């Protein structure tokens, strides 16, 4: 009640209350100037809130993208039209044109599959073998943040 009185009611009639170590002090000032100051303060707070929500949105979108990427089974990672044959762990051994995949490329692909395998395993553990539910919850959170942002931007 006191904050509302200090911040909303008294400025309209030109009274500024200031809390000081020696006690509360009040001053009479121009109500238009005080209204302008309040509007500027509200605009700054709104801007800070928008900035905070934008940062949250970026973080949650990255999280969703990481989840989507982690949902790919490691053995299916390189099962594309670029390759014709794969070994049992999904490492490509033959290119689509029939040429063998070089040893260096096979090593890189194997390393990528190992990394994906860890990400996939972590996601399955985190989601209780239901990553789609976790992704849906994260997407709802992203949508909620977008809604808040759009209502603040209006």
pLDDT tens track for 104-119: 999 999 999 999 999 9
The predicted pLDDT at position 19 comes to 82
The predicted pLDDT at position 45 comes to 93
Q: CB of 127 within 8 A of CB of 133?
A: yes
R_g of the chain, CA atoms, integer Å: 29
Burial class (CB in 10 A: 0-12, 13-18, 19+), 74: buried
Q: How confident is the model at residue 6 (pLDDT cuts 50, 70, 90)?
A: confident
The predicted pLDDT at position 64 comes to 92
pLDDT at 154 over 70: no
Q: Determine what percent of the chain is predicted with pLDDT higher than 90.
A: 47
Instruction: Work out the mean pLDDT of the chain and round it to a whole number.
Output: 90
Which residues, in sequence order, are CB contacts of 71 under 8 Å at separation 6+?
120, 123, 131, 132, 135
Mean pLDDT of 54-74: 93
Mean pLDDT of 8-35: 88
Distance CA 154, CA 8 (A): 22
């Amino acid at each position: 009640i006191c904050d509302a009185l200090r911040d909303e009611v008294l400025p309209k009639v030109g009274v500024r209350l200031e809390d000081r170590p020696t006690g509360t002090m009040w001053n009479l000032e121009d109500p238009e100037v005080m209204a302008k100051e309040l509007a500027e303060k509200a605009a700054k707070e709104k801007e800070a809130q928008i900035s905070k929500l934008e940062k949250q949105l970026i973080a949650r979108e990255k999280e969703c993208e990481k989840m989507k990427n982690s949902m790919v089974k490691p053995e299916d990672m390189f099962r594309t039209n670029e390759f014709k044959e794969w070994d049992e762990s999904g490492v490509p051994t033959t290119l689509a044109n029939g040429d063998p995949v070089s040893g260096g490329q096979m090593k890189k692909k194997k390393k990528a599959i190992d990394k994906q395998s860890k990400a996939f395993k972590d996601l399955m553990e985190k989601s209780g073998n239901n990553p789609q539910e976790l992704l849906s919850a994260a997407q709802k959170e992203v949508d909620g943040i977008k809604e808040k942002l759009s209502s603040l931007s209006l």
